[in-house]
Structures are given as C-alpha cells and as structure tokens.
C-alpha cells in the first residue's frame, strides 16, 4: 500500500492509473508469446504429455534427458500463471493447463507448425527470405493440429452427412494421418474406407497408425494422386462417397480452374458417387474486424504461406462450373468452414 502511495505521489494519480492500465492491456499479448514458447518446448520434447499423463511427477524424472535449469525456468513461469504446480521436488499439471490441452490443444499445435515462419518474419518482411525458399512450416504439426481442431466440428458434420445418406464405402482424398476416417469408422459401423494421400511420408505414418488402430480391418491406405484415380475407379466401382476435408484448397493457388478440372474429372470417373466437401470459407475482413475470431490467425497463417482460401460463393461457383449440383450445404462462419454434398 505504501509503495502504491509512493508511486501516486511521484507520478500523480491519473498518470499512475493510466500507466498501470496500459501495461495490463499489453500483458496478454506478451504473455501469449511467452506461454506459447514454453508450452511448445514442453510439447516438442514430450515433457508436456508426460506431465499430462501423470497425476504428479518427481521433477528429477521429468528432467531426464532435458536441461534441468531450462526446465525449472519454464515450470517456474507456468507455476506463476497457475498452469502447473512445482513444489517439494514434484510437478503436476493443474486443471487450467488440462483444460487448455483438451479441445484447444489443436490451436497450440497448429500455431507451433507456423513458429518457424514467425521466426523468419523479419527476414521475410525485409525481402531477405521467402516462404518455400528456406522458410518452411512444420508439416507434422499441421497434420496433428488440424486433425485435433477438425474433431470438434468438421468431422462430426461430415460424418452426419455420410450417415444420413447411408454411405458404405468412402474414398477420402488427402487422408493425412487418417484422423477423419477413424472418426467416421467410430461413428458409422457400416462404413469401410479407402484413404489416399500423395505425400509418401504421410502415407507411411498413416499406415503406422492404422496398424495400431481397431479399424485396421475396415480402412485401406494407398499412396495415390487424386488427379489420377481412373484405375481406382475401375477397381472399386462400389465407392459411394468421396470425401475431402481441407484438401482441394491446396490447389487454389494455381487458380480456380485447377480445382474445377479436378472436380469435373472425379465426376466423370465416379459418375454415381456423391462428393462430400469440407473446406475453409474465407470470411469478409469487415466481419472479422467486428468479431475477431481465431479465423483471423488462420487467415494470417495461410496468407504468410501463400495458401489461398476461397469464400463460400467461390466454392459454389467452382462446383457449378464443374457441373455439380449442391444437394446440401452448411457454412459455419464461427469456424470459417463450409460443408457441401455434391452430385
């Protein structure tokens, strides 16, 4: 109290209050950066999951293989914020950290995927570096982060569409780590699936997780390019649903015509199959300005890495140009995602 009075005497009440208010407003921005840095270090080294998996751990055990002094700095900071408790040589994750690492964990992982881009942002801004030329995101965390985030709404919406339309054999384009097909198999016991991905390390990882999954008898994974599926269409004429979650937009940088051509080709190769599309739908900047949801960060990450996001009207335009009719549509502005069933 005396200290507060001394500050007021020195600065005057109005200036003291104004200065404190301004620092309070700056703190969440600075703290977000520091907290993310600390959590990402724990995530990358596996210490975060060891902490979350145990009720409490001896600090000595958590420090195995890590720099103990750095670990103690991180834990001391997170203890001050009520995220962990570090006491009497033991450490435990508090409820606040456990809640952050439940559904929102994907936010942290997806943002970590772009950390190398932010680390080079001064160079990129000054024109000394460019994305794709010595600057890359962390692909593994793009997959893990988006898989976790999609479990909250995109996968349930798509699974509901498949259920209502009685899908039995699903072909998933750009299946990634199979998070979507696992979700579908959990939700729909009648479904079998083929997942394809063009990226060999992704297919290898998908095969690894599939081997350990209870759905290994119902899902098949193949390395394949969705632009070249004529042989698969002949081999599996019983495919009655083609799904793609956040896959088509990867080609929008080459122009809408590229995606239109692909959709047209899929329609010709699989003439009786319904197409289920889950895609980002860009929101008008005015809307984000009045309600700055997490989609603002999403736009920034995509913009900085030259990924194009289309709005819902552009997707409808591409579907129409490919000769596809929209049987069903759900666009959720709150997550900036849209879902379409096409014939």
Q: E strands of 291-332, at which residues? A: 326-332
Residue 199 touching ligand SAM (CB under 6 A): yes
Can residue 196 be called a binding residue for ligand SAM (CB under 6 A)?
Answer: yes
Q: Does 111 bind ligand SAM (CB under 6 A)?
A: no
Q: Which of 111, 148, 202, 283 binds ligand SAM (CB under 6 A)?
A: 202
191 binds ligand SAM (CB under 6 A): no
Mask: binding to ligand SAM, 221-260, rule CB under 6 A, as x and -? ----xxx-----------------xxx--x----------
Half-sphere exposure of residue 326: CA atoms within 13 angstroms, side-chain side? 18
Binding-site member from 42, 75, 173, 322 for ligand SAM (CB under 6 A): 173
For the chain, where are the E strands, in sequence order?
A: 57-58, 84-87, 90-93, 130-131, 134-135, 169-173, 192-197, 219-223, 241-245, 274-280, 326-332, 337-342
329 near ligand SAM, judged by CB under 6 A: no
Check binding of 306 to ligand SAM (CB under 6 A). Answer: no
**Measured from the CB of residue 177, what is the shortest distance to ligand SAM in angstroms?**
7
Instruction: Tell me whether residue 91 or residue 194 sits nearer to ligand SAM (CB atom).
Output: 194
For ligand SAM, the closer CB: 111 or 247: 247
Torsional class of 329: left (φ above 0), alpha (ψ -120 to 50), beta (otherwise): beta
Position of minimal CB gap to ligand SAM: 174
Element (H, E) at 4: helix 2-11
Q: Should residue 197 be labelled a site residue for ligand SAM when binding is judged by CB under 6 A?
A: yes
CB-CB neighbours of 231 under 10 Å: 10
Question: Is the CB of residue 307 less than 8 Å from the CB of residue 117?
Answer: no
Output the six-digit token pair for 122.
């001064």
Residue 322, token pair as written in the block: 């490919």
Q: Residue 28 Cβ, how far from ligand SAM at the closest point, in Å?
A: 29
Give the range of 145-153, 183-191, 230-238, 322-330 binding ligand SAM by CB under 6 A: 145-153
Q: Which stretch binds ligand SAM (CB under 6 A): 5-13, 58-66, 175-183, 332-340?
A: 175-183
Residue 174 touching ligand SAM (CB under 6 A) = yes
- The bridge status of strand 337-342 relative to strand 57-58 is unpaired
CA distances to 44, 206, 207, 334 from 212, rounded to whole Å, are 22, 10, 9, 35
Contact footprint for ligand SAM (CB under 6 A) = 146-147, 150, 173-176, 179-180, 196-199, 202, 225-227, 245-247, 250
């Amino acid at each position: 109290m005396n200290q507060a009075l001394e500050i007021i005497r020195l600065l005057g009440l109005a200036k003291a209050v104004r200065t404190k208010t301004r620092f309070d407003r700056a703190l969440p921005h600075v703290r977000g950066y520091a907290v993310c840095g600390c959590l990402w270090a724990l995530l990358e080294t596996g210490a975060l999951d060891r902490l979350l998996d145990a009720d409490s751990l001896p600090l000595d055990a958590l420090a195995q293989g890590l720099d103990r002094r750095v670990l103690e700095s991180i834990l001391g900071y997170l203890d001050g914020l009520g995220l962990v408790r570090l006491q009497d040589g033991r450490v435990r994750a508090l409820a606040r950290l456990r809640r952050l690492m439940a559904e929102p964990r994907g936010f942290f992982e997806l943002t970590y995927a772009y950390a190398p881009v932010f680390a080079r942002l001064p160079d990129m801004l000054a024109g000394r570096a460019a994305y794709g030329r010595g600057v890359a995101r962390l692909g593994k965390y793009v997959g893990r982060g988006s898989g976790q985030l999609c479990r909250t709404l995109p996968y349930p919406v798509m699974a509901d569409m498949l259920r209502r339309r009685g899908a039995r054999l699903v072909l998933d384009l750009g299946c990634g780590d199979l998070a979507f097909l696992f979700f579908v198999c959990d939700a729909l016991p009648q479904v079998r699936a083929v997942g394809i991905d063009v990226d060999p390390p992704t297919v290898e990882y998908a095969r690894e997780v599939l081997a350990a999954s209870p759905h290994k008898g119902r899902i098949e994974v193949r390395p394949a390019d969705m632009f070249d599926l004529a042989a698969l269409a002949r081999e599996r004429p019983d495919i009655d649903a083609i799904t793609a979650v956040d896959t088509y937009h990867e080609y929008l940088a080459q122009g809408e015509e590229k995606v239109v051509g692909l959709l047209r080709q899929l329609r010709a190769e699989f003439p009786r199959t319904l197409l289920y599309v889950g895609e980002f739908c860009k929101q008008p900047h005015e809307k984000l300005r009045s309600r700055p949801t997490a989609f603002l960060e999403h736009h920034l990450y995509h913009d900085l890495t030259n990924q194009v996001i289309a709005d819902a009207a552009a997707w409808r335009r591409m579907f129409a140009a490919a000769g596809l009719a929209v049987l069903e549509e759900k666009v959720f502005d709150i997550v900036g995602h849209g879902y379409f069933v096409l014939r």
